[in-house]
Chain A
Amino acid sequence: MILKADPDKVLRFLVENFELVRSLYLAQLEGNVISREQFNALTKHTGDISINRLFEYKLLSEQYEDIRLNDPVRAFLAFLISEFKPLLPSELEKYRTSFVELFTAVQECPEGEQPILLEQLQALYDEVQRFLENVENNTGQLLRETQHLKANKDKMEYGERIRRARHLIEYYITPLNNILDLQHSESIASLLGQISAYANRERLVHGYQLARDRFGQLHELLRGGNERILRQSRILSRELLPLIERLQTESEILSGWLFFLERPFRHEVPSFTTRSYRNFFGSSTGANVALFMEQFIQRVEAVILQEEEITAVDRHEVLFDRQLYVESLQEQLPVHDFFEWCRERLYQNEQRPSTERFLKICSIVFEDSEKYETEFTGRRIEIELEDFVFHVPEVKVSSKTKKDDVP
């Protein structure tokens, strides 16, 4: 009992000196007790009055040379700071005994002993509550420690890390998993299941109203507790164990490399893949295939184009200008040797003199025969062109109109 101050004053003191109290708590968590030297170091900047109050308010107590936080204060701070020492599973196992004893007492409570039954039910309720809280704190703390270990924030030596991981698995995680294993008939979780089933029945059939209420409360707590246990169990199996397993896998990999690197050139190595240079087609495949395919080739009808009488087509043909020759003839009439005149005109006017062109020039007289008068001398002359020689009569051409003019 705190004699020297009211509870709210104590709380205020705690608030005002919270950092100090926290460091004291962490020191105790680390070493179980706070040694006198540690205490002096931590309170170096704290006034004497405050130091005295730590003891007067019964926050701290002295144990021989060492100092400890009083247990209710320690539990309160653990709750506030969420830093715990994980409980050894045997610390949790003690709940089994109290559950069994209280449960048996409740079951065997004689009729008419209601007051003690209510008290036992109350005690069982509190005990279950404490158990669940402890389990939750424990998994939470184990998870933090494992993650811490995984991240290796303390830069722990490799071997040390593995030892620590194994220690956690062996002494904390696996036993805790057993405690929470609902499938296992010996686990505390399944014991709580039995209690829950009993409470569920009694809350309906018990002859005493207050007891029915208490059984109802207990049943509610256990029903929720079942879910809480499941959640913790899931954390264990889904996060904690895999984390540790990964740590272990990693350690195996590293150990493997170290073994390998001891004799890197003589140790066997895993078979890897090699590039395949095999050619699907050889250099002569193409020729062989062609030869093979040849037999299937059917001779198709050949279309042969034969050139007969190659005549170059004159693309630059100039159109025959008949008018030019008609006018020229008109000017020069009478012409004594018409065909010779035609030949002369041809070579004079045409860029490409040709027989065809020559004949066209000749035709002007015969086409307009009413305009001209012709007179054959009876002699024949030769007109030589590029590729032809014409034997033509000597013809004298004169204008008809002229004759008409001279009657």
Chain B
Amino acid sequence: MYPEYHREITEALLMDARFLVEGEPEFTCLRENLDFYQQFFEASFGLSLLCQSDYAFLQSARDNDTLSRDICIFLGVLCYEVDREGKNIMEELSFSTFAYEDVERLLELSSFREVLEATKSLRDAPSRRNFYHLLARRRLIDKIDDEAFRFTPGHKYFLEFARGVVQEMGERETGDGLSVGGVQTEVTDHSEILKHDPGDKHGVEE
């Protein structure tokens, strides 16, 4: 009566609050019964199921999620650093493995260090170790071994968010020296911006 992986799907999405990603039998099963599950989660728990071609998760109703913010900061800084090294962000995040050591080095030397230090779960190496564990539990990354990890397709959700930010900013500020379409990033001197806005750091929550 219920799809084959019903229990696993429910546990993963609802109780573990993790991504289901392409390659998992649960994900295939979810896609095959997408209508059912959308109704199921909506009717039973009032949660909406977000399912893309290669990842799925249950969207919480909370609009100020600390974990989400931490992930955005982490990915934002990482993307910036990856690009600074002359690599392609999307390719790196989709196909490359990341050695913890390399990521740590990037973050330690990043010009966004202030932001990282103001973020509880990212402020130092031990905190970040816990953070990586958390990411793995939520299936945003797959641990390959103790040395390295790889991003799952789930990361695309956050990249889409970043794209959305640009489009939103573009719409809001068209005609103000910023053009629509994301090719307007003259804002490279972010350290300046941080100095202008010290109040940001008070916004750290749990």
A contact set with B: CB distance below 8 Å: 150-152, 155, 158-159, 162-163, 166, 246, 248-276, 278
Q: Is B62 an interface residue (CB 8 A)?
A: yes
A145 to B65, CA, bound (A): 43
Say whether B86 contacts A265, CB under 8 Å. no
B163's contact among A253, A269, A271, A272, by CB below 8 Å, is which? A253
Say whether B79 contacts A271, CB under 8 Å. no
Q: Which residue of A lies closest to B80 (CB)?
A: A257
Say whether B58 contacts A251, CB under 8 Å. no
Say whether A158 contacts B83, CB under 8 Å. yes
- Tell me which residues across on chain B come within 8 A of A269, comparing CB atoms: 64-65, 68-69, 72, 161
Q: Which 4 A-B pairs have the closest CB atoms?
A: A265-B203, A252-B182, A256-B162, A257-B76
Say whether B182 contacts A256, CB under 8 Å. yes
Main secondary structure of the interface of A (DSSP, over half): helix
Say whether B15 contacts A261, CB under 8 Å. no
- Tell me which residues across on chain A come within 8 A of B162, comparing CB atoms: 252-257, 260
Say whether A254 contacts B89, CB under 8 Å. yes
Say whether A263 contacts B197, CB under 8 Å. yes
Say whether B190 contacts A271, CB under 8 Å. no
Q: Is B118 an interface residue (CB 8 A)?
A: yes
CB contact under 8 A between A276 and B15, given known A159-B186, A258-B190: yes
Say whether A256 contacts B165, CB under 8 Å. yes
Instruction: Given A159-B188, A262-B190, A264-B72, output 16 extra A-B contacts at Cβ < 8 Å.
Output: A152-B87, A248-B182, A250-B83, A250-B89, A251-B183, A253-B89, A255-B165, A255-B166, A256-B165, A257-B72, A259-B166, A260-B72, A262-B197, A265-B201, A269-B68, A272-B57
Say whether A262 contacts B187, CB under 8 Å. yes
- Tell me which residues across on chain A come within 8 A of B24, comparing CB atoms: none
> Nearest chain A CB to B161's CB is how many angstroms away?
4
Q: Is B146 an interface residue (CB 8 A)?
A: no
Q: Which residue of B lies closest to A275 (CB)?
A: B17
- How many residues of B are in contact with the other chain, CB < 8 A? 68
Say whether B80 contacts A272, CB under 8 Å. no
> Nearest chain A CB to B165's CB is how many angstroms away?
4
- Among residues 125 to 146 in chain B, which have CB atoms less than 8 Å away from a CB atom of chain A? 138
What total count of A-B pairs have CB within 8 Å? Answer: 168
* B115, B118, B182: residue with the most chain A Cβ atoms closer than 10 Å: B182
Chain B 186-199 near chain A by CB (<8 Å), digits 1 or 0: 11101001100100
CB contact under 8 A between A264 and B69, given known A166-B183, A257-B75: yes
Say whether B60 contacts A271, CB under 8 Å. yes
Say whether B182 contacts A255, CB under 8 Å. yes
- Tell me which residues across on chain A come within 8 A of B201, comparing CB atoms: 265
Chain B 142-164 near chain A by CB (<8 Å), digits 1 or 0: 00000000000000011101111
- Tell me which residues across on chain B come within 8 A of A251, comparing CB atoms: 182-183, 185
Say whether B72 contacts A252, CB under 8 Å. no
- Tell me which residues across on chain B come within 8 A of A278, comparing CB atoms: 45
A128 to B95, CA, bound (A): 44
* A151, A253, A262, A266: residue with the most chain B Cβ atoms closer than 10 Å: A253
Q: Which residue of A lies closest to B119 (CB)?
A: A264
- Among residues 20 to 71 in chain B, which have CB atoms less than 8 Å away from a CB atom of chain A? 45, 57-65, 67-69, 71
- Tell me which residues across on chain A come within 8 A of B171, comparing CB atoms: none
B contact set with A: CB distance below 8 Å: 13-19, 45, 57-65, 67-69, 71-73, 75-77, 79-80, 83, 86-90, 112, 115, 118-119, 138, 157-159, 161-167, 169, 181-188, 190, 193-194, 197, 200-205
> Nearest chain B CB to A164's CB is how many angstroms away?
11
Say whether B68 contacts A250, CB under 8 Å. no
Q: Which residue of A lies closest to B18 (CB)?
A: A273
Say whether B157 contacts A270, CB under 8 Å. yes
A166 to B183, CA, bound (A): 9
CB contact under 8 A between A259 and B61, given known A159-B188, A264-B76: no
Say whether B187 contacts A259, CB under 8 Å. yes
Q: Which residue of A lies closest to B112 (CB)?
A: A261
A273's contact among B17, B69, B159, B204, by CB below 8 Å, is which? B17
Listed A/B pairs (24) with beta-carbon separation below 8 Å = A159-B185, A248-B183, A249-B182, A250-B90, A252-B181, A252-B182, A253-B162, A253-B163, A253-B166, A254-B79, A256-B182, A258-B190, A259-B165, A260-B162, A262-B187, A262-B193, A263-B197, A265-B203, A267-B165, A269-B64, A272-B67, A273-B13, A273-B19, A273-B58
A257 to B86, CA, bound (A): 17
- Tell me which residues across on chain B come within 8 A of A271, comparing CB atoms: 59-63, 65, 68
CB contact under 8 A between A272 and B60, given known A261-B80, A262-B197, A264-B76: yes
A151 to B16, CA, bound (A): 38
> Nearest chain B CB to A147's CB is how many angstroms away?
11
Say whether B69 contacts A254, CB under 8 Å. no
A269 to B157, CA, bound (A): 11
